[in-house]
Chain A
Amino acid sequence: MDDDYFSIDAILAENQKVGCRFKVDIPDMGHLGGGGERDITRSNTIQLPIWMVYTVVLSDWADMIMPPAFGSKVRNALKAEPCSVRLSSLVGAGGLWYGFGKTIMEMLDKKQEMSDLLTTTFRKRLVEVIDQAQHFAALGPAGGVGPTGDSAQSFREGLDATERELFALAQEGSKRMKRWYEESDKARR
């Protein structure tokens, strides 16, 4: 999530491709698009890795197309009900939706709008993440299927990697507390 050079999370977050629409002809670079064409022609759309997008966009050779993970469809769904969107399927398994979003945000002119989207989504989902983590901690080691139903199950599957980490932290903490409250320490003393 952070920008640190050695951060594995930051590297994973950039492991995405972003569509770019070229404004100029670039000869002999057609292989970037993975196709058989020799040149990149104007108004062609090519999926580029993020590290290359920086250069291409800043040099004004191409416009970035907003990736579908943050497209209007997803935005509207998030506006309606943040908890029902499966973030993990937007960025692939183990993907960092928030990290990816942050990377995209840095390249946009309207940073505030993107930041608001990410922050609101995170905050709204956070409560549900923690609730479920504590519920799971309460179930004990054998638990797994609670009276939570399918929506909770699919919410958990839709967590992005950042939320998963939070889930694990909260679950571990609650488990420890539960153990401490419940154990009788006649044996310990």
Chain B
Amino acid sequence: MPLPPALRASVTPPELELIACQQLTAFISGAYGPLRPPHRARIPLWMAVNLKQKKKCHILAPAWLTVEYLQEKLVHETTQAEFTKLPFRFAEISRVLLDVASDDLQNADKLRSLLKDLREARQAKARAGLESLEHSTLGLSNLSAMEINEIRPFFIKAMSVLGQLRPGV
């Protein structure tokens, strides 16, 4: 059965979120199973989210999900020409954490706005990359999974058009 056109070019954001949820994250367990509170344990994000919703644990935010770190990255992002190095699935993980465990994060609102600023700064760069598009190669390093997924459909199409407009192939 053919997929609808919208799903052919790339996966959907919720699917990426699902993949990101397989990643290990740290949390402090509550009273649950063989995990002994208040010891820390590394478990997949989806499980942490589940436990968090049952109020059985606290989630320890990853080191990059702090105001200082993101602020530093934002400065870097707005002053340097290339993309800042961020965790590959930072968009998905930060959103899940902000959604279900905002009380475990310090200054969640500030984090939200910083992430939004980062995203906008990076989008502007991806747009600049569009201007120098080539038919064969594309150099946008440090792009995250969600951003790649967003630009994939039309970058692929545009590159194939450019390839076809070349003479004598």
**Which A residues lie at the B interface, using CB under 8 A?**
1-2, 98, 101-102, 105, 111-112, 114-115, 118-119, 122-123, 126-127, 130-131, 133, 162, 165-166, 169-170, 172-174, 176-177, 179-181, 184-186, 189
Interface of B is mostly: helix
Select A119's contact among B99, B131, B162, B168, beta carbons within 8 Å. Answer: B162
Chain A contacts for B154, CB-based, 8 A: 130, 133, 166, 169-170, 173
Residue of B nearest to A179 (CB): B13
Select A172's contact among B100, B153, B165, beta carbons within 8 Å. Answer: B153
Select A131's contact among B53, B127, B157, B164, beta carbons within 8 Å. Answer: B127
12 A-B residue pairs with Cβ-Cβ distance under 8 Å, sorted by A, are A1-B164, A102-B164, A114-B167, A122-B158, A123-B133, A166-B154, A169-B154, A169-B157, A173-B153, A176-B13, A180-B12, A180-B13
Q: Are B161 and A98 in contact (CB under 8 A)?
A: yes
Q: Are A127 and B127 in contact (CB under 8 A)?
A: yes
Count CB-based A-B contacts (< 8 Å). Answer: 83
Interface residues on B, range: 20 to 34
Residue of B nearest to A167 (CB): B154
Residue B166, interface by CB 8 Å: yes
The digit string for B114-140, where 1 denotes a CB below 8 A from any CB of A, is: 000000000000010011010000000
Residue B34, interface by CB 8 Å: no
Select A169's contact among B153, B167, B168, beta carbons within 8 Å. Answer: B153
**Which B residues lie at the A interface, using CB under 8 A?**
6, 9-10, 12-14, 17, 49, 53, 95, 99-100, 127, 130-131, 133, 146, 150-154, 157-158, 160-162, 164-168
Q: Are B162 and A176 in contact (CB under 8 A)?
A: no
Q: Are A130 and B161 in contact (CB under 8 A)?
A: no
> What separation, in Å, do the CA atoms of A162 and B162 have in the docked complex?
11
Residue of A nearest to B12 (CB): A176
Chain B contacts for A170, CB-based, 8 A: 153-154
> What separation, in Å, do the CA atoms of A118 and B130 have in the docked complex?
16
Chain B contacts for A186, CB-based, 8 A: 99
Chain A contacts for B133, CB-based, 8 A: 123, 126
Shortest Cβ-Cβ A-B pairs, 4 listed: A111-B167, A180-B13, A115-B167, A169-B153
Given A111-B168, A126-B158; 14 other pairs, CB 8 A cutoff: A98-B161, A112-B167, A115-B167, A122-B158, A122-B161, A123-B131, A123-B133, A127-B130, A165-B157, A169-B154, A170-B153, A173-B151, A177-B146, A184-B99
Chain A contacts for B10, CB-based, 8 A: 173
> What separation, in Å, do the CA atoms of A176 and B9 have in the docked complex?
13
> What separation, in Å, do the CA atoms of A111 and B146 have in the docked complex?
39
Smallest beta-carbon distance A49→chain B, Å: 21
Could you say which of B49, B100, B152, B153 has the most chain A C-beta atoms within 10 Å of its C-beta? B153
Select B6's contact among A114, A166, A172, beta carbons within 8 Å. Answer: A172
Q: Are B150 and A174 in contact (CB under 8 A)?
A: yes
